[in-house]
Structure 1
Amino acid sequence: MPTQNKSLALEAKSAVMWGGGFTMVRDVIQFANMLVMVRLLTPADYGAFALAQSIIGLLSVFSFASFVSHALQMRDPADVDWQAHFTAAAAINVAIMMIGLAVATVLYHTEQFAQAALPLAGLSLVFLIEIPSTLRDKMLLTQHNWSRSAYLPIIGTLLGCGVGIAIAILGGGYWALVLPVLLFGVPAAIDLLLVAKWRPDWSWSWPRYQETAKFGVTLMGSAGLWRARLATEQHVLAGTYDMSTLGIYSRSVGLATLLAGRIGTIITGSLFPVLTRAERGSIQFRRYAGLVLRGVSWATIPAAAFLAICAIDVVTLLYGDKWSSVIPLIPFAVAGVALIGISSASTSMILANSDVRLCLLLDFFSAVVGVILAFWLIPMGVAAYLAGLVGHGALVMTASLFLLWTRNGISAQSIADAFAPSIVATAAGLIALLLARTAFGSTAPLVLRIAFEALAMGVVYVITLRLLFAPTLRELVNVAPGSKRLMRMLFPETAVA
């Protein structure tokens, strides 16, 4: 293997270990925080926050985060003009913050959406914090400083969760959800300005920034379409029903995302700075893309199937009885979220392959279909809408994989290897789960029952992959963090040899 390939392979392992590993740790922290929050806050609190957050998400499309992401596309990090990024950020984000405050003022004078006004005003301040924090994050990622880029978000998460729980205990309602969002980026901002002692010189050069601006505008279009669809969804739900219904919907999708839908985002987000170092459409890029898709699918499919089958037990354990309305929504929510998660991984690889406009086309298609489904199916019920999103997810995933293949970003065999083994192994694992449920009985403590069923499914899943798809499994294990130990466990004959 050429030296460059070896270097990128090592960087990929480090990226997954630090970026992916610490993101999972952060998710565990947020998961534990959620277990506390759902017992202290009401569905109306979550509904008001969800509506405000959807508006912030839409405004964030136009923030400088869309432009600074261009730094990760640069094959040579030395070409990044950080000073120009900061100057642009100061102008753009201050203006967006003022727009957010203006929208909050308008909502405050409406009857139906007044509850979301104050959360929106508070969340608007995030655009100020985003300037130094996002700049620092992208600096560290372009430098492949995985450890520092990993633990700064952990500190922000711990800080936010601690403050959020304290506010919830004191009866602060939705402010317990708003403040953690603001505090998340504070450690990175401090690291940039006080630790690294980086200072802006307010320089600007349009010729140097022109390529970044073009990339940002295109990415802005993609993100804008996605955020507009989510904002439409939130507003139609809140307008058709009430804040409590919106809160129940957001918790069903939130749980599905946390347990099954985040895998694709974690893996591709960690590996994106490495993928962009491989030449567009090269054999190396196609191999990496195939392994990324395989890792995402092999983790997402069984996780989604487990949550769908065990929805009653998982929701009862994690959310408690007052959130029982979430239970019938989980199978639909997790199926749609899983498909979109895999689709998101595919779209990220299209972007890493420098097909920015193709991403925009795909996002436009996804947004249009999503908005049509929102207006058509939400009045029929939340379950009907979630069922429609399953079809939406399947359609978008198929389209994204097809486009990635046509642009020489992945091979057809890699796509087959990503799905067929996992589907077969998941089916075998579900049979083991149902047998374990019968053997263990329904009188055992809930947490033990869930753990036993998860263990039974997981063991059979891995055994099935090892027995029926050994070469495909071996290839994935070889590039995973801790590959030597995993190889000794799964392929002892190879280790001995």
Structure 2
Amino acid sequence: MSTDPSLTQPPLDEAEAEAAAERAAAQAQRGTLGRTAARGALITVGGQGVKILLQVVGVVVLARLLTPGDYGLVAMVTAIIGVAEIFRDFGLSSAAVQAKTLSRAQRDNLFWINTGAGLAFTVLVFFTAPLVAAVYGHEELVGLTHVLAFVFVLNGMGTQYRADLNRRLRFTTLAVVDVAAPAISLVVAIVAAVQGAGYWALAVQQLTMAVVLLVGNAVTARWIPRLPRRAPMRDLFRFGWQLAGSLFVGYLGNNIDSLTIGTRFGSEALGLYNRAFQLLMTPLGQLRAPTTKVALPVLSRLRDDRAASNAYIQRGQSALGLTLVAGLGVVIGAAGPITSIFLGRQWLSVEPILRLLAVAGVFQSLAYVGLWIYLSHGLTKELLQYTMITVTIKIACILVGSTWGVTGVAWGYALAPALAWPLSFWWLSRKAPVDVGPLFVGAGRILVLTAFLAAGAFGACELTAQWGRWVQLPVAVAAAGVVYALAFLLVPMFRRDITGVLQIVRKGTGKNR
């Protein structure tokens, strides 16, 4: 007489049952993972496109309602207290997303850890406000820091809700919340600025965005955290603290430009630099960062399949290069009319800064796929080591460049990633099962195309200078479009790359089944 094997096995505890269910769900998803990833990428990029539009509208409108000094004061505060945001998250959002399995108890514990850290940093930043003001010599920074401190506890409460949505590949939900938050906060900021709130309009904008993100993510995630309880957390903490260390070092490098300008040249100069940064680098970051939301869960599932993983990474680099990097080529060539149209003629001194930041964005984007590899393979220790090297390069370039003023700082900011990005692929070739040769070759093709796009846009601007900015910009975009089309028609390797990106689009829209 046979016996049902399941009757002789000890019952699974809750954590084991959840892990088994999650593994089964992941296995069921595997067959449609490519289509899910492509659709998620399209949804995410579409949402970010709307966010960028909102960002540009905000820059255009608020630049005419506020002064460079207003922006400079807020940038002074965020450059210093923003480091607390890294340790508030502690890398645990990415740890939750990339984990092979995540139990309900682990998720609950992560929620309380992030919330507690957020509250702790709110208290810490609130009471160190006088120190922030003393660093820059602006007494008004005390009250501004007090208000912005509450962003930490709000973001801390929302961290694991967002990670949960990301882990479950709910990209549409994330995109909706990510669009609603900046839209609502921008309206609030514009109303406050019209009422004469000055720099407080920017502070209220940040608080409003944090509230909307928390409410939106919590409502759509549809779970209520239970009280903390025992669960295996060691691997999550190990991943998190190493990633937090990398982010901390990276943050110092990313903000050394603002700190240098703020302390050496004052709030007006920092406000000018900040407008160029907000006009270009913030939207660029908003487009790049969500690609990690798609790539991290996908590559985490593919990490045992080297061929599939390498193919995905190479396709991802092409997608970034032929869209974002190509667009930056147009910005490099048409920085003059872009500055004049979007910021106004009173901000024309921003033009060389904008052009140099676009160059920096090109090399940062080329290196960005490396972040996907580090995180998906759990190489946070190696990421920290690499980040320390690149930040050292950036700090040196910016400090030397500051000898020539704010534009010199922008030169240093552009030069640093140009020197550092090849190190990322070389370092990965030693630490991860990834083929970096095709990545170098692909990056070279992208750089050549971007250079031609920039030259075409610049030449068009020069030829139409006598007709004004409103003619220069569309003609520059058209000229770059002609260059792009010629590359597709005449150069087989570009045609192959562009066709590959179009295949991603077709997968995402369900037209390539």
Q: TM-score, normalised by structure 1?
A: 0.89
1:493 aligns with: none
| Kept in 2: contact 1:261–1:340 (CA 8 A) | no
Q: State the distance in 1 between where 2:454 and 2:269 align.
A: 31
1:285 aligns with: 309
Q: For the structure 1 residues 273 and 181, does the alpha-carbon distance in structure 2 shift closer, same or farther, using more than 3 Å as the test?
A: farther
1:492 aligns with: none
The DSSP-based 3-state class of the residue aligned with 2:214 is helix
> Is the aligned partner of 1:447 residue 2:481?
no
Q: Per-residue displacement from partner, 1:168-203 (whole Å, max 9, x unpaired)?
A: 111111121112222223234324555666333221
Candidates 95, 117, 121, aligned match of 2:146: 121
Q: State the distance in 2 between where 1:483 and 1:95 align.
A: 42
1:27 aligns with: 52
The DSSP-based 3-state class of the residue aligned with 1:276 is helix
2:6 aligns with: none
1:150 aligns with: 175
Candidates 99, 123, 137, aligned match of 2:124: 99
| Kept in 1: contact 2:360–2:413 (CA 8 A) | yes
Q: Per-residue displacement from partner, 1:112-143 (whole Å, max 9, x unpaired)?
A: 14343322221110112113322221111111
Q: State the distance in 1 between where 2:90 and 2:403 align.
A: 35
Q: For the structure 1 residues 279 and 39, does the alpha-carbon distance in structure 2 shift closer, same or farther, using more than 3 Å as the test?
A: same
> Is the aligned partner of 1:202 residue 2:230?
no
Residue 76 of structure 1 aligns to which amino acid in structure 2? T
1:422 aligns with: 446
1:491 aligns with: none
Q: State the distance in 2 between where 1:274 and 1:255 align.
A: 31
CA shift at 1:484, angstroms?
A: 7.7
Segment drifting more, 183-192 vs 350-359: 183-192
CA shift at 1:78, angstroms?
A: 4.8
| Kept in 1: contact 2:334–2:461 (CA 8 A) | no
CA shift at 1:264, angstroms?
A: 3.3
Q: For the structure 1 residues 25 and 4, does the alpha-carbon distance in structure 2 shift closer, same or farther, using more than 3 Å as the test?
A: same
Q: State the distance in 1 between where 2:321 and 2:69 align.
A: 35
CA shift at 1:374, angstroms?
A: 3.7
Candidates 193, 207, 223, aligned match of 1:182: 207
| Kept in 1: contact 2:118–2:157 (CA 8 A) | no
Q: Which runs of 5+ in 1 are unaligned?
A: 488-497
1:40 aligns with: 65
Superposed counterparts of 1:452-467, under 5 Å = 452-467=475-490
CA shift at 1:278, angstroms?
A: 1.2
Residue 413 of structure 2 aligns to which amino acid in structure 1? L
Candidates 41, 46, 58, aligned match of 1:16: 41
Q: State the distance in 2 between where 1:195 and 1:465 align.
A: 42
Q: For the structure 1 residues 388 and 458, does the alpha-carbon distance in structure 2 shift closer, same or farther, using more than 3 Å as the test?
A: same
| Kept in 2: contact 1:477–1:486 (CA 8 A) | no
Candidates 63, 71, 74, aligned match of 2:96: 71
Superposed counterparts of 1:252-291, under 5 Å = 252-258=276-282, 263-280=287-304, 282-291=306-315
Candidates 328, 331, 352, aligned match of 1:304: 328
Superposed counterparts of 1:25-424, under 5 Å = 25-64=50-89, 66-78=91-103, 81-108=106-133, 112-191=137-216, 198-205=223-230, 208-258=232-282, 263-280=287-304, 282-424=306-448
The DSSP-based 3-state class of the residue aligned with 2:169 is coil
Segment drifting more, 298-307 vs 255-264: 255-264
| Kept in 1: contact 2:136–2:263 (CA 8 A) | no
Q: State the distance in 2 between where 1:217 and 1:389 align.
A: 27
Residue 351 of structure 1 aligns to which amino acid in structure 2? L
| Kept in 1: contact 2:315–2:501 (CA 8 A) | yes
Superposition RMSD on alpha carbons, in Å? 2.8
Q: State the distance in 2 between where 1:401 and 1:466 align.
A: 30
Residue 87 of structure 1 aligns to which amino acid in structure 2? W
Aligned residues: 485
The sequence identity of aligned pairs, in percent, is 18
| Kept in 2: contact 1:77–1:142 (CA 8 A) | no
Q: For the structure 1 residues 342 and 118, does the alpha-carbon distance in structure 2 shift closer, same or farther, using more than 3 Å as the test?
A: farther
Q: TM-score, normalised by structure 2?
A: 0.86
Q: Per-residue displacement from partner, 1:452-484 (whole Å, max 9, x unpaired)?
A: 320221232133134312333323321235678
Q: State the distance in 2 between where 1:381 and 1:233 align.
A: 11
The DSSP-based 3-state class of the residue aligned with 2:261 is helix
The DSSP-based 3-state class of the residue aligned with 2:233 is helix
| Kept in 1: contact 2:90–2:243 (CA 8 A) | no
Segment drifting more, 346-355 vs 391-400: 346-355
